[in-house]
Amino acid sequence: MSHIITPSTPEHEIEARNAQMFGNLKERLDFYRSEIQYETSILANRTDAYLAAQSFLVIAFVSAMGNLNPEWGKMFTMIVPAFLALLGVLSSLNAWPGIRAAYKIIDHWQLKQSHLLRSQPMMGLMYDETPLFSEAETSRVGHKKSLLFSLRTPWIFLGFWVLLGAYAVYIQVA
């Protein structure tokens, strides 16, 4: 029979359920670490795909701005770069939720790992009494700093595209 665990559930019942799910503390730690690694690779893949798309948009934008065709070049350089800048803004706004979601999941598993290591001090000690994980690896500040590049990139490119789009329209109108 299944039971729902609530805040009023006795600690010994929670521990019994955890023991059923995870054979021991090392298995739980390994599970948390594998989830962190899996989500980090997802975040890295999303960031890589986003940066690749942005680099192609930048190349297309620069090529469109360099159009020197005397017949249709003026109209082309007025419309296409602005459209590409709008596409860059939209792709940045669309990339943000996926990157943010992966970050939140990593934060969740990192928090669970930190709680495990803090609640079970022997879990983090090796034979020579040296911590297995340093405070920088398990602290919330440490892992948040390591993920800042992925979190900031969409916003940086969003600002970049707004400025480039405004500049492209300005130099054509002025």
What is the pLDDT confidence band of residue 128, given thresholds at 50, 70 and 90?
very low
Residue type, 45: N
Where are the chain's structural domains? 23-173
Distance CA 78, CA 174 (A): 11
How much is the pTM?
Answer: 0.75
Both tokens of 130, joined, read 């040296």
Distance CA 128, CA 26 (A): 18
What is the pLDDT confidence band of residue 125, given thresholds at 50, 70 and 90?
low
What's the mean per-residue pLDDT of the chain? Answer: 83
Q: Given a cut of 70, is residue 112 above it in pLDDT?
A: yes
Three-class HEC string of the chain: CCCCCCCCCCHHHHHHHHHHHCCCHHHHHHHHHHHHHHHHHHHHHHHHHHHHHHHHHHHHHHHHHCCCCCCCHHHHHHHHHHHHHHHHHHHHHHHHHHHHHHHHHHHHHHHHHHHHHHHCHHHHECCCCCECCCHHHHCHHHHHHHCHHHHHHHHHHHHHHHHHHHHHHHHHHC
Distance CA 95, CA 164 (A): 19
CA 167 distance to own-chain centroid: 30
The β-bridge partners of 131 are 125
What is the pLDDT confidence band of residue 134, given thresholds at 50, 70 and 90?
low
